[in-house]
Amino acid sequence: MLMSYKKSKDFSIFKKKKIKYLLLNHKSQITVVFFHGFMSDMTGEKPKQIQKFCRRNKINFLKFEYSGHGKSSGKFINGNISQWTNEAKKLIKAKAKNKLIFVGSSMGSWIALNLIKYFKTKIKGFVGIASAPDFLEELMWKKFNKKIKKTIINNKVYNLKNDNFIYPITKQLIFDGKKNKILNKKIDNKIDVVLFHGLKDNTVPLKFSIKTLKIFINAKKKLIKIKNGDHRLSRKSDLKKITNELKLLILDIKNFN
């Protein structure tokens, strides 16, 4: 785990709030930015393999952790989509000055999608892995029973258990998620979009990637369904597919931009 943070640095967001990040600067025309998922961090297999790919191909790479995640400061229960989006925006603005490819994993796709409008002229590609935009409303709030909803509305933390993990869910997190809904919007950027979704994903249904694809109205886009893939999509074969598509996307951007 410690080796995973080697060469990482702190980026000051506000007063004592610091975001942990790692930047590979190869002075390339493109920076690949990785957005991790809900209660995840930047040390997993996906960012690790994409980092190796970028190092081999001398492509700039930026990964980071939202506040309350990994080694960034702050408490998870104080965070929300708006806050994490804003932190990512400030970091990217400061550290990535050129063409951008966003790679979002699960919730990371939601945050990346939120930022496409802010980096409209720089963004050239988007890769979504088991994308989960609007999940707080669609996969949590709508499925919670009255008792759970009452607990949350009374400003108590509800500890949601899922696959041996416990996710502390708060009222401010849920209601901020409602404000950030994006699947009812349109993105008109002419960019390359590649989405991956495992057909054995028991956490986020395939329909989320299908809906995500539909919000891009002018993009060159495709959805790759991985037959035995789960939500993590972190097997060697999954990662190979992801980096292969990333390579094609980079070539396309270099040839046509």
CATH of residue 222: 3.40.50.1820
Residue 113: strand pairing partners: none
One pLDDT digit (tens) per residue for the chain, 257 residues: 445 788 899 999 887 889 999 999 999 999 999 999 999 999 999 999 999 999 999 999 999 999 999 999 999 999 999 999 999 999 999 999 899 999 999 999 999 999 999 999 999 999 999 999 999 999 999 999 999 999 999 989 999 998 788 999 999 999 999 999 999 999 999 999 999 999 999 999 999 999 999 999 999 999 999 999 999 999 999 999 999 999 999 999 887 75
Residue 141 within a domain: no
| Residue 165, pLDDT score | 85
Residue 48 within a domain: yes
Residue 18 within a domain: yes
Burial of 107 from C-beta contacts in 10 A (0-12 / 13-18 / 19+): buried
Q: Report how far residue 70's alpha carbon sits from residue 84's, in angstroms, rounded to the nearest whole number.
A: 13
Total domain count, the chain: 1
Burial of 146 from C-beta contacts in 10 A (0-12 / 13-18 / 19+): exposed
**Domain that residue 21 falls in:** 3-135+190-256
Rounded to a whole number of angstroms, the CA Rg of the chain reads 17
Residue 177 within a domain: no
Residue 178 within a domain: no
Residue 67 within a domain: yes
Residue 147 within a domain: no
| Residue 257, pLDDT score | 57
Residue 160 within a domain: no
